[in-house]
Amino acid sequence: MNGRVEFLTLTDPEKIWMPDLFFKNEKTGQLHEITMPNMYIRIFSDGGVLYSVRISLTLSCPMDLKLYPLDKQTCSLKMASCECEYSCLTVDLLFKREFSYYLIQIYVPCCMLVIVSWVSFWLDQNAVPARVSLGVTTLLTMATQTSGINAALPPVSYTKAIDVWTGVCLMFVFGAMLEFALVNYASRSDMHRETLKRGRRQQMELDHQTALGELGDHTDDGQTAYAMAC
């Protein structure tokens, strides 16, 4: 304004003094230099300096996954001096998961698998291949779903909310398989007892008929002996 220069733009940071800053929780970093270094410096007339640079960082962020996927995580971006003891600049970022994604990808499929496993309750107990195939398929699918969920997360030593959900679903699916095994065993036991009862009944009838036959033979022998005596 009025012929005065408001700021001076530089592209070489070595021409001025730069603070020795670093990111305390940085894991990896990348400075963008295509097609030229992505940075610029503005020196204002009042002595202020604007230093802008484009970088990509991978930062460490300790997380508490006990409520996953209903959790909220706070990750910090920490910038400090690498030589002197100064205050640390910290930027806290709050992350919240989109529940609709997990509803479609995890909760709905697990509920459908449990409902499909319960279909075996309406199948004939003598349809062994159908009930076994249905139970084994749903159990393996549920186990694969659980493994896929845990593979996408870092290993932790505590139980997560999603572990409780998948564990309960696995219990329901396994319970359907166990119910079929118990019903099949009870049915075979009833059939075995019925067969034994039928066998005993037939044996008793056979013994009764044999006894009547022997009694008839004795009667005929007595009548024959009486006739000969007369």
Quick one: how far is CA 131 from the chain centroid? 24
pLDDT at 103 over 90: yes
- Report how far residue 112's alpha carbon sits from residue 119's, in angstroms, rounded to the nearest whole number: 11
Structure tokens at 99: 């529940």
The residue written with tokens 């997360």 in the block is: 153
Amino acid at 11: T
Expressed as residue numbers, the domain containing 44 is 7-96
pLDDT digits (tens, 9 = 90+) for 11-64: 777 778 887 888 888 888 888 888 878 888 888 888 888 888 888 999 999 989
pLDDT digits (tens, 9 = 90+) for 155-205: 888 999 999 999 999 999 999 888 888 887 777 766 666 676 776 776 677
| Full-model pTM | 0.67
Number of domains within the chain: 2
For 125-184, give the DSSP string.
TT-HHHHHHHHHHHHHHHHHHHHHHHHTS---SS--HHHHHHHHHHHHHHHHHHHHHHHH
Residue 171 belongs to domain with CATH number: 1.20.58.390
44 falls within a domain: yes
pLDDT at residue 1, rounded to an integer = 47
Same structural domain for residues 134 and 185?
A: yes
Residue 43 belongs to domain with CATH number: 2.70.170.10
pLDDT at residue 39, rounded to an integer = 82
